[in-house]
Amino acid sequence: MSLAGRAALVTGGGSGIGAEIAARLARDGAPVLVADLNLEAATRVAEAIRAAGGQALPFRMDVASEADAAAAVREAEAQFGRLRIAVCNAGITDRSPVLEMSLAKFERIVRTNLFGCFVTAQAAGRAMAAGDAETRGGRIVTISSVSGQFGGTGRAAYGASKGGIETLTKVLAVELAPYGILVNGVAPGPTQIARTAHGPRQRMAFLDRMAVKRYATPADIAGAVAFLCGDDCGFVAGHILNVDGGFATAGVMYDPAEGA
């Protein structure tokens, strides 16, 4: 698909899924502002994109800062033209049990994941909604998680933040559609990135409930994001696309040949 000339902002673009999303959008023709709190990481990603023939620049951004979000949108438009794509990807996680989690830790995760998604989407939406019917429009893609759809051990803050993102996505879709802005979300299942670091028991707990018996790669997630940003997805709004190997679909799975 072609995203040529459609300026894009990707938060959390310095590593993992965000880096792959930035690279995929650039391969599809979008000039990308790679935003991350870690400017050095964002710079490496942007340099790799340029080395591969794409357009990209790094930008340091505290994802929960309204001032940083507004500045990122201004920078993207100053460098690449009107913002047409925003991917609210930045996020952090923790696996603390409820009875042991501090309020400070809970707040940090929710602030980064949920507040950060809202602040980025709001800043991008304001830019995309400006002007008349001929100039308005764009795509906003949020990144949630299957952890926001189920109760899972150690995921009080992370699950709450991601569940909030899914509802926020639907509200954004309803409110921004009149401006020609389509808002959708991608909910990854277990994905093989550096910070996943799942041990054997945790991996088995996921894989036992998955129709596709492997973890996702960042490229699997990036492909779904690219689809939601492209012309073939012009009549989808407020949808959460699970990219989870069937995790949310599966019930009890066993080989009947082994008996009850």
Q: Which residues are catalytic?
A: 158
Token code pair at residue 73:
């949108």
**CA gap 137, 228 in Å, rounded:** 14
Token code pair at residue 139:
């795509």
Contact 7, 82 (CB under 8 A): yes
Q: Which of 226, 230, 240 is nearest to 87 (CA)?
A: 226
Token code pair at residue 144:
């949630």
What b-and-e string marks burial along 166-193, b requiring 16 or more CB atoms within 10 Å of the CB? Answer: bebbbebbeebeebebbbbbbbbbbbeb
Tell me the H-state helices in 186-239.
200-207, 218-229
- How wide is the angle at C-alpha 248 spanned by C-alphas 245 and 254, nearest 5°? 75
**CA gap 165, 116 in Å, rounded:** 10
* Residue 151: its H or E element: none
Contact 218, 17 (CB under 8 A): yes
**CA gap 81, 241 in Å, rounded:** 29
- How wide is the angle at C-alpha 11 spanned by C-alphas 10 and 17, nearest 5°? 80
